[in-house]
Structure 1
């Protein structure tokens, strides 16, 4: 009853305010271009990092590589191109939210996103938001969130880009991007296909990565149409279809194969009223997998989930310096699979985001969210953030939040082993940040603390089956630093990006560091451009990680720390007003380092990739 009253009070309050205020005229322009506006307007006290399209160009091979070499995220990858899981500030993959145009696309089966099933073709940038985000983005956004936003610009243009690349292990990649707009219509599409034998050599052995081939195709298409002076209609669609052989380990072979199919479609209607700006989203998401224990047979297991979503938001100026954004959302999840029956879940949520800007120095944010989820008692969530501009060069940021994650379909219904008695994970976090900017340099320093209770862990039970339990209490704390420097001297351009993270993630009962969380991780990118030529160098240091929890008893097992570097060069063959051709060569694992990301799963030796790109 309290939740129902909260919902109706929110609606009544929103209605009263709408009758009294006038919306900011700038809102309409921003919303026409960007779907997830709350990421921009309600994150002043958070660390937000933007990876530009130039970085995406240098890391076309995989989304995992893009983030591994350009952020503080740690990735556990079961061999190159295989399942890839992130660790955000020491949290696990199901506690990292991936947001596509404002909505979560984390799997309802596993709770996480496999980053090797996402292609960044047709995204102008990738945004990383550090810190708890369950109030804005729902279940799972505990460590942070990664945002994929498609942009739709209505400035008249017609641009096309064709990219062809070929590399080691018979790796072929072709993509086509097209973007068109006039004053009423905006359209863009990205099509990508990649195929690789992925049979790299295991260094210091006579073995190769057998049964590791993969191929996939993706489509990312977006359409926007201005109906009139007040209404804009947009359509977003993404398709990914892939097939991967699952490679074995250095000591055992494999014949497994895995098929992925992901479809995402969303229609968005934006309306500029006389007193407020509103937005309605309707979406359908489908995830579908097939697992073949032996690729030479037709026997497989499968899982499938359809998600139906409706979301309504409004942007309201209560006062000149006080903004309110109420959000009402309803999700329906419908699953099926060979390891469970036909589960479903209904989820209703109400959210209120409040932003107060009393002057040019201070920014305050206060946010509340209440979910009603079938089968669970969901907690009342909150978050706050503060940003204080001490001077033109120095800004202090503080944020805190309560976050949660509900059990997935696999956690609850997997047979044998599912546990219907699970309760949602709960987490509290606080983050203190400093941002120092001077001329063309920017330094960010952050310290964070996260405490999680009722953490869901799969362990063997008395019957011999693996089953999830709410048993663990963990704490995560550490510091992060990032530096971005750029310098231009006549026709010489030089830039440096550096990231470092020190992370402690421990079980509060044993005080042991959790498995696959490095204490230290660092990377830097150095780029130089002169006239038609450009060079870049990437370097990654990944500290030692434990693979078993016995690190306090002296019987621990670990994956050793490693360092790996990439080098790239590109040259502009010619450029006119309407056409441009670039060629580039990238050398991955430049020093031919033997290393593992996951125990007994060697990563690739030195390898090459040649690319030609034609813009017209």
Structure 2
């Protein structure tokens, strides 16, 4: 508890300091959710994570940000594996995008959010609801965009960061920015490790004690990740740019064992290593009435389980091209094509598959009427080698009903089709893969409203969205007569209401930010088809690992160079199997504070501390796997020119 005590002392000390938390940086271009993306998706819910929340979580990974500040559900073990469930969907129903690359595994279909360090990125964009019409296969639930800004540095600036946390957690990172205003390079490097030897109460039954095993310590759950992103950006002129990005990553962890194994097989140790190479280059031209961009990429993913020599890897070659023609000041037409070739090399596949080609053609149109009503139409058709993919159209609108000096009230609506092509493992893994699987086929309906209010000293928004998602051919691995096998066995219906608010209050030198994110999400099997009669017992009941209620509340205050705040998040109980097994609801409360010390304009230090799970709760996010009790982190960031 020494580190926790140091963090508490830090909170007390900075309470008497003066300060302001975040450096202001003028950014010319926002890559994540630029106007062209949102303009052609009228009625879709697309948001950027607020800068203060993003800055606060720079020492963590994507799963921690999602858990603490969004209504999305996260299923995780203690630092080694975390998967997302957006609006009741599966992890492989949300695409994670870097440039023009969906980083989800082509064999598994999903990403481990514990392996996505926030320190490497400048912003995070969140898209709620079906996004297949823009992002392609695997975006039935939504999409996450990992954003990197162009700063067009003239000269040199840099930063270095060090974090130390509980259970031997360490993070080291640096960012280097160098250029002449037209040509810039950005180097981002990080190294992260954690022993993860936290105490917990082990509920596994011990027959010798005739009760719970009792106090225990997590063993063999270490994590070690490292990576670098190298960028080169060249501005040919104001409206013509060229970008090259390379993300090289190596992730390793000991696979956390469940409570029973940890208690009675303490020497059990298994490991998983993942190596990734992701290259993306893009040319953008906006000089004339026709704006267009061309992009290409290469991806190499390799996974090694427990030092095995069995190969599980894929390579991808990607090409994207699209153009937008501005018909008038209030209407545009956009079209494009995406192509990728995938080369799998997996020891357990029952085929000599060498290559699979995917081609997507998409067309979009948007029209604004009298600066009050915006309508968009999107059409997408994918073609996959020896596979039939459904046509996916989408229609949406955004309407400014009231626009006054102090407030604006708007309404949105969207209807969109979506799909997911089964992964290579789903189709070809031996045993259990099924090459005759159908693509998952969904339709999403959404209505939303947004109220924005601004007066002197007070500004904020309130949003309410209702959605209904119906997915046919939902794919599951089920325990059938021949063992585990993949099959299209379900029709799943997910519906719900999301409520969000965010407010900034300014009183003299004080700034207060507060907000609420809440999701009510009933999601059920509506129908079971095929021979999977065992699925019938779960019809009409909440789907596994999707909480009916998820809520987040946060409050922070800034005075000069000092910032302090807390966040509170609640996750309702969750079913963990098609039986009646559940994990109980849990509530987590976290504290954080920071202080900026400015030596001069060229040298700035930022000291930060966080204390997590201050209620010291034992809880589970994945059945049978413990999570840490109270834990903390200290960080120092140094920025200089």
Shift of the alpha carbon at 1:35? 7.0
What pairs up with 1:46-195 in 2 under 5 angstroms? 46-59=44-57, 60-77=59-76, 79-154=77-152, 156=154, 158-195=156-193
**Cα distance in 1 between the residues matched to 2:509 and 2:238:** 44
Q: Residue 496 in 1 paired to residue 520 in 2?
A: no
**Cα distance in 1 between the residues matched to 2:71 and 2:571:** 10
**Cα distance in 2 between the residues matched to 1:519 and 1:420:** 34
Shift of the alpha carbon at 1:339? 1.4
Match of 1:579 among 578, 598, 603: 603
Match in the other structure for 1:442: 461
**Cα distance in 1 between the residues matched to 2:516 and 2:30:** 30
Shift of the alpha carbon at 1:92? 0.6
More divergent stretch after superposition (362-371 vs 44-53): 44-53
What pairs up with 1:550-561 in 2 under 5 angstroms? 550=579, 556-561=580-585
More divergent stretch after superposition (502-511 vs 272-281): 272-281
Q: Residue 418 in 1 paired to residue 433 in 2?
A: yes
Match of 2:337 among 328, 337, 359: 328
Match in the other structure for 1:18: none
Q: Per-residue displacement from partner, 1:98-132 (whole Å, max 9, x unpaired)?
A: 11124322211111111111112232210111111
**Cα distance in 2 between the residues matched to 1:401 and 1:157:** 46
Shift of the alpha carbon at 1:342? 5.2
Match of 1:34 among 27, 31, 34: 31
Match in the other structure for 1:460: 479
Shift of the alpha carbon at 1:275? 3.9
**Cα distance in 2 between the residues matched to 1:434 and 1:274:** 36
**Cα distance in 2 between the residues matched to 1:101 and 1:470:** 32
Q: Per-residue displacement from partner, 1:390-419 (whole Å, max 9, x unpaired)?
A: 112101000110100001000011111110
How many matched pairs?
Answer: 576
**Cα distance in 2 between the residues matched to 1:265 and 1:572:** 35
For the 8 Å contact 1:313–1:326, the answer to whether it is kept is: yes
Shift of the alpha carbon at 1:359? 1.8
Match in the other structure for 2:559: 530
**Cα distance in 1 between the residues matched to 2:101 and 2:308:** 34
Q: Match of 1:280, SS? A: strand
Match in the other structure for 1:244: 253
**Cα distance in 2 between the residues matched to 1:174 and 1:578:** 21
**Cα distance in 2 between the residues matched to 1:230 and 1:43:** 24
**Cα distance in 1 between the residues matched to 2:113 and 2:356:** 25
For the 8 Å contact 1:334–1:342, the answer to whether it is kept is: no
**Cα distance in 2 between the residues matched to 1:35 and 1:590:** 34
What pairs up with 1:147-546 in 2 under 5 angstroms? 147-154=145-152, 156=154, 158-203=156-201, 205-228=214-237, 231-253=240-262, 254-272=268-286, 274-292=288-306, 298-340=307-349, 343=353, 344-392=355-403, 393-439=408-454, 440-463=459-482, 465-509=483-527, 510-546=539-575
**Cα distance in 2 between the residues matched to 1:230 and 1:194:** 38
Q: Per-residue displacement from partner, 1:546-595 (whole Å, max 9, x unpaired)?
A: 01223xxxxx1100000011111212233421111121221111110111
**Cα distance in 2 between the residues matched to 1:114 and 1:269:** 30
More divergent stretch after superposition (281-290 vs 575-584): 575-584
Q: Residue 603 in 1 paired to residue 603 in 2?
A: no
For the 8 Å contact 1:52–1:124, the answer to whether it is kept is: no
For the 8 Å contact 2:32–2:146, the answer to whether it is kept is: no
Asked which structure has the greater RCO (Cα within 8 Å, sep 6+), the reply is 2
For the 8 Å contact 1:156–1:180, the answer to whether it is kept is: yes
**Cα distance in 2 between the residues matched to 1:336 and 1:113:** 19
For the 8 Å contact 1:119–1:218, the answer to whether it is kept is: no
More divergent stretch after superposition (298-307 vs 263-272): 298-307
Change (3 A) 1:417 1:174: same
Q: Per-residue displacement from partner, 1:173-200 (whole Å, max 9, x unpaired)?
A: 1110122343311222211111110111
Q: Match of 1:89, SS? A: helix
Change (3 A) 1:62 1:476: same
Shift of the alpha carbon at 1:300? 4.9
More divergent stretch after superposition (605-614 vs 200-209): 200-209
For the 8 Å contact 1:513–1:549, the answer to whether it is kept is: no
Instruction: Structure 2: state its 5+ residue gaps.
Output: 1-26, 203-213, 263-267, 528-538
Shift of the alpha carbon at 1:228? 4.9
For the 8 Å contact 1:36–1:102, the answer to whether it is kept is: no
**Cα distance in 2 between the residues matched to 1:281 and 1:331:** 12
Q: Match of 1:135, SS? A: helix
- Return the TM-score normalized by structure 2: 0.87
**Cα distance in 2 between the residues matched to 1:604 and 1:31:** 41
Q: Per-residue displacement from partner, 1:395-451 (whole Å, max 9, x unpaired)?
A: 100011010000100001111111011010000011101111101110110000000
Q: Match of 1:112, SS? A: coil
Shift of the alpha carbon at 1:209? 1.2
**Cα distance in 1 between the residues matched to 2:602 and 2:138:** 45
**Cα distance in 1 between the residues matched to 2:387 and 2:48:** 35
Q: Match of 1:252, SS? A: helix
More divergent stretch after superposition (39-48 vs 520-529): 39-48
Shift of the alpha carbon at 1:469? 0.4
For the 8 Å contact 2:244–2:279, the answer to whether it is kept is: yes
- Return the TM-score normalized by structure 1: 0.90
**Cα distance in 2 between the residues matched to 1:501 and 1:405:** 24
**Cα distance in 2 between the residues matched to 1:347 and 1:437:** 42
Shift of the alpha carbon at 1:307? 0.9
**Cα distance in 1 between the residues matched to 2:314 and 2:395:** 33
